A and B are shown apart, each in its own frame.
Chain A
Amino acid sequence: KAGVTQTPRYLIKTRGQQVTLSCSPISGHRSVSWYQQTPGQGLQFLFEYFSETQRNKGNFPGRFSGRQFSNSRSEMNVSTLELGDSALYLCASSRRGLNTEAFFGQGTRLTVV
């Protein structure tokens, strides 16, 4: 069965621009979470969506937002990009989200110049 698919794999943007990343979860999975991985901070939770509703949010500024569609696909948006937003953005899906294993996509490598 197909895994978690993230697009695009790589992205280069300039400061001040905005970016939208996409995540297609494993079929049947209704929970989608987003994480940011940076060398200094490790993997940090951004937010989680379940059945089109944001259930949980990490400690990131409002420039980071997301949404989930009825087919469970999710997008995250970062507006007014800063150099510090350069990171690997990972999406994870799980069946219900409650103490079930999350399966990660390969990530989108965002570079802000």
Chain B
Amino acid sequence: DQQVKQNSPSLSVQEGRISILNCDYTNSMFDYFLWYKKYPAEGPTFLISISSIKDKNEDGRFTVFLNKSAKHLSLHIVPSQPGDSAVYFCAASETNYGGATNKLIFGTGTLLAVQP
């Protein structure tokens, strides 16, 4: 059962335009969401996160939007640059105050290609 889904395996965008990567989740207990960027043969690199008490978080060119009622989040990259070309993973976690956890549930990733 895939609790975090990234339905677009790939996305191609022109340099300078906006890239929008989408992610859906099914577990309403998730309360923290993260986006990671990954190059081949490297570990994922943390990009940006958002708590479920917010609906938007912005960091430079990256903005994450969270729509809890739709169980949907998106990552906007503006403007897109060729160096942004990579696989983007969305991840979610559930706070377990009883034992705490850093268990991340990842989506399957979206390959972003930014064309010069």
Query: What is the CA–CA distance of A106 and B31 in the complex, to the nearest angstrom?
Result: 27
Interface range for B: 20 to 34
Residues in A neighbouring B104, C-beta threshold 8 A: 33, 35, 43, 45, 92, 102
A-B Cβ contacts below 8 A, count: 78
Q: Interface residues of A: mostly helix, strand, loop or mixed?
A: strand
CB pair A43 B103 closer than 8 Å = no
Contact with B along A75-101 (1 / 0, CB 8 A): 000000000000000101010111111
Chain A interface residue count, Cβ-Cβ cutoff 8 angstroms:
30
Query: What is the CA–CA distance of A55 and B96 in the complex, to the nearest angstrom?
Result: 10
Known: A99-B32, A107-B43. 5 other contacts (CB 8 A): A4-B43, A35-B106, A58-B103, A94-B102, A100-B102
A-B contact pairs, 18 of them (CB 8 A): A33-B104, A35-B106, A43-B44, A43-B104, A55-B99, A55-B101, A56-B99, A58-B103, A92-B43, A97-B101, A98-B102, A100-B102, A102-B34, A102-B104, A103-B46, A104-B45, A107-B41, A109-B41
